[in-house]
Amino acid sequence: MNITTVLDDYINEKIVEKDKEKREAHVSSGKLSASILGWTLQWQVLKYLGVPQSKVDDYTLRKFLRGNHVEDFIASQLDGAKSQVEVSYRDCVGYIDLLWNDNIHEIKSVANSKYRWITKKGKADPQHVLQGALYALGHGSPTFTIDYVASDDYRITSFEYMTFDYKSEVDTIIDEYNKAIETRTIPMFSVRYDWQNNQKYSPYPEFMTENKTVINNLLKKHNVSW
């Protein structure tokens, strides 16, 4: 018997190539997006400036793909559901995963281990809540729902939230972002959530410093300026 990775390698190469083509074809709007509301302010500004993000590894790309498959399946089970509905709030843009019976649903595919942790905790990830709140504000909906789908067996646990409860937090994040852009300020690295201290999960690990000189030198290295 021989163990071979020919099929896995072939498919992996196609996944990586498709992601590369997607990134190269993407034209940034220059606007803050709902999906990065929970990012640190520094990361948000660096993305606005077009600083290259760290490469996404093959494992993460496959998880993204799995998430897309899960989202497509859920949508296929809901009569009348609309997918990827574009919304905007205070010039911050995003796409609602599913709009069903005029209710906003943000679908998150997670491994069974994380699904157990979320259901035990009894609430959605705060970053996902911010994302859902932005969609609800843009759509004019009083509520929104974060749906967690266990990718192994498609179990679903949903958390419904009141939009107004998060309006102030969303507005504050947008205000801070707009001020940084208007004043052409690169903020020092400061986390919103503990996981952002881990370079493994950072889109800009080089910039995780409070040294302004280092940051300016990195901008020059990437040939980025205001």
The pLDDT of residue 27 is: 72
The pLDDT of residue 143 is: 98
The pLDDT of residue 21 is: 85
pLDDT tens digit sequence for 42-86: 999 999 999 999 988 888 899 989 989 999 999 999 999 999 999
Question: Token digits for 176?
Answer: 């801070």
CB 151 within 8 A of CB 111: yes
Helices 164-182 and 126-139, axial angle in degrees (round to 10): 90
Total count of domains within the chain: 1
The 3-state DSSP class for residue 83 equals strand
- % pLDDT > 90, the chain: 77
Within a domain: 121: yes
> What CATH number does the domain containing 52 carry?
3.90.320
Q: Mean pLDDT, the chain, as a whole number?
A: 93
- As a whole number of angstroms, the distance between CA 202 and CA 212 comes to 19
pLDDT tens digit sequence for 159-196: 999 999 999 999 999 999 999 999 999 999 999 999 99
Residue 121: pLDDT above 80? yes
The 3-state DSSP class for residue 118 equals helix
Question: Token digits for 177?
Answer: 């972002």
The pLDDT of residue 55 is: 87
Helix residue ranges per DSSP H, 6-55: 6-25, 41-49
Within a domain: 10: no
- As a whole number of angstroms, the distance between CA 128 and CA 116 comes to 17
Boundaries of domain holding 188: 39-221
The pLDDT of residue 209 is: 84
The pLDDT of residue 5 is: 92
- As a whole number of angstroms, the distance between CA 50 and CA 177 comes to 15
Q: Average pLDDT, stretch 19-31?
A: 79
Q: Average pLDDT, stretch 129-154?
A: 97
The 3-state DSSP class for residue 150 equals strand
Within a domain: 8: no
Within a domain: 91: yes
Within a domain: 113: yes
